[in-house]
Structure 1
Amino acid sequence: MTATQSLPIAVGRRPYFQLGITLVVLAAAGWMLAAHRVTLDSGTDRLAAADGEWLVLACLAAAATWVCAAVAQQGAVVERLPRGRLVAAQFAAGAANHLLPAGAGATVVNLRFLTRCGLSTRRAAAALAAKAAVGGLVRCALGVALLVASPGTVRLSARVPHVLVLLPVAAGVVVLAVVLSGRLRRMVGRAFADVRDVHRCRARACALWGGSVAFALLHAGVVVAVVHAIGIGLPASRVVMAYLVASGAAALLPTPGGLGSLDAALALALTAAGAPGPEAVSTVLGYRLLTGWLPMAPGLLVLALLARRSAL
């Protein structure tokens, strides 16, 4: 069986498992919202009275994230992609990502777009995997760089060293699984070959890494702008670290667009950084409004338009 034939089977093996986790997380999020209704109402009121200029800046940062996603996606492939449709596909992928669990919506849209541009299913999947891997590495690198540049950003507790011990153990388990599984070894080998081909061109490598860095920083910038709009006196470094930690934690839970998981993680991270509960809720609501809820309807319209023009 070829990679293109096995991909749909691999994607369809765990639909009920992902759906179950999604329902559990959403139910837990609903329970938390009901239990903290007073805080939610207070947060909504604070967001309504926020500084309009900072909210405009947050809107601009949110819009720029789609361009950065397009740049990173172009950097993950050797072939030149149509720029206008590429940006439109990222905008549509963001809307689709809020409808399916674990980023499946964005993956399906981008996979379809790349295959329509002439890439094989295997190479399109490898490009998406490379982009996702670079995005994760970029977030980790930004977090480490922020800690080095500003050591007071996070106060490490006594439990942190015990948690850090688990990181090499988990990495060792992943490496062992790849070594023992011939299929995984072949898949990883093909992925590395594609990544190596991309990095042979300096412009492509710069686009992949630069777009990924800008994408993460702009999302963090949206949170920073909303924090300033509400009037929370938190240093930008703490807010950026809170977003990086929250987005990393939310990636472990397969909810549509991080709904529930990212909201709770970001609110907890901001609270741990020093923001009062109502202000933290207001920040999460503002971030969600600008990056998810407002672009949802136009994103779905763009998705339908791309599908009608056979771009997807």
Structure 2
Amino acid sequence: MTSEPVALAPSRRRAWLQGALSFAVLLGAGYLARRHWAVLHTGVLRLAVADQGWLLIAAGSAAATWVGAALSQQGAVLRRLPRGRLLAAQFAATAAGHLLPAGVGAGAVNLRFLTRCGLPAGRAVAALAVKAAAGVVVRGALIAVLASLCPGVLRVPRVSVGGVAGVVAVALVLAGVPVWRRCRPALAVVAADIRVLHGRPARAAALWGGSFAFVALHALVLVAVTRAVSLPLAPARVALLYLAASGAAALLPTPGGLGSLDAALAFALTTAGAPGAAAASVVLGYRLLTVWLPLLPGLVVLGVLVRRGAL
């Protein structure tokens, strides 16, 4: 009778810590918004008179991100998933991801969807891990390519030999920790699934193509908004700034990157030479199209999927 509360204690502490960190980031974002309200107000006005054609391109790209997410999720499992419900689940998962920190909401929706489609819980978790791993690899590859095309935008810190040796030593120590030994079977399952999936060219193409499309379309949304507000930055440079800012924002587990991604994007754009008002317009436009406008419809779709037993 007493083992269950003890087992749940670490997860509860983690949830409280994430919630407290999210609240602190939101408070900081609110403070900065109040302090720089004049810049934000000018940014809103600039966005209101932006080029409507480019804003339509940005809106279409934002909507297409759910197709990329659905494609990569299908590529992470061997079983054929129902297309309509898969796409609806990605739309609902996006909305849920904006309510809970660290991707918990989106992961829970996708996990529930996969188990409802008949996958065992272990395989469903492995499929989410495969999808996440593919996304990380795609982001890293795109950063490497864009950094070579835009030299000087990102400054890679110099790493000493001692630092590398320290990281290797820590990795070797962790390899012997009991927690790591418990994780190895799960990692072996994920590695086995990756090998099996790459034996099916259609699934591998869906996994990597969908992962690339998801990241590239988010970058395209930002590029289109910069064009809409007449911000003269090269598309490759904007895409690289987005990838760097979103990677930095991932270190702070706020719901949907709220506050952390906004600050990182604004900082990246102003560092690249954008005026404060223009950077505020771009960030507001990007967040409007990717978060605020789809949020309520996404929650409605989430409720419908739950009522119909799809989640």
Corresponding letter in the other structure for 1:274: G
Superposed CA RMSD in Å reads: 2.2
After superposition, the Cα gap between the structure-2 partners of 1:167 and 1:147, relative to the gap in structure 1 and judged at 3 Å, is: farther
After superposition, the Cα gap between the structure-2 partners of 1:155 and 1:122, relative to the gap in structure 1 and judged at 3 Å, is: closer
Distance in structure 1 (CA, Å) of the matches to 2:302 and 2:55? 26
C-alpha contact (below 8 Å) 2:93/2:106 kept by paired residues: yes
**Aligned-pair identity (%):** 54
- In the alignment, does 2:268 pair up with 1:269? yes
Residue in structure 1 matching 2:157, options 147, 152, 160 = 160
- In the alignment, does 2:183 pair up with 1:177? no
Aligned match of 1:234: 233
Deviation at 1:173, TM superposition (A): 3.8
After superposition, the Cα gap between the structure-2 partners of 1:197 and 1:311, relative to the gap in structure 1 and judged at 3 Å, is: same
Distance in structure 2 (CA, Å) of the matches to 1:297 and 1:283? 22
Corresponding letter in the other structure for 1:56: L
Q: Structure 1: 5+ residue runs without aligned partners?
A: 1-6
Distance in structure 2 (CA, Å) of the matches to 1:257 and 1:137? 20
C-alpha contact (below 8 Å) 1:179/1:185 kept by paired residues: no
Aligned match of 1:251: 250
Corresponding letter in the other structure for 1:120: P
Aligned match of 2:295: 296
Distance in structure 2 (CA, Å) of the matches to 1:250 and 1:45? 26
Aligned match of 1:204: 203
Deviation at 1:182, TM superposition (A): 1.3
C-alpha contact (below 8 Å) 1:153/1:241 kept by paired residues: no
Deviation at 1:211, TM superposition (A): 0.5
TM-score using structure 2 length: 0.92
Map Cα deviations across residues 179-215 of structure 1 (whole Å, 9 max, x no partner): 5321021221122112222111111111111100111
Corresponding letter in the other structure for 1:132: A
After superposition, the Cα gap between the structure-2 partners of 1:222 and 1:139, relative to the gap in structure 1 and judged at 3 Å, is: same
C-alpha contact (below 8 Å) 1:198/1:204 kept by paired residues: yes
C-alpha contact (below 8 Å) 2:147/2:154 kept by paired residues: no
Aligned match of 1:107: 107
Aligned match of 2:79: 79
C-alpha contact (below 8 Å) 2:150/2:236 kept by paired residues: no
TM-score using structure 1 length: 0.91
Aligned match of 1:4: none
Map Cα deviations across residues 102-122 of structure 1 (whole Å, 9 max, x no partner): 111100100000000001111
C-alpha contact (below 8 Å) 2:75/2:205 kept by paired residues: yes
Distance in structure 2 (CA, Å) of the matches to 1:128 and 1:84? 19
Aligned match of 2:214: 215
Name the stretch that deviates more: 195-204 or 61-70.
Answer: 195-204
Q: Structure 2: 5+ residue runs without aligned partners?
A: 1-6
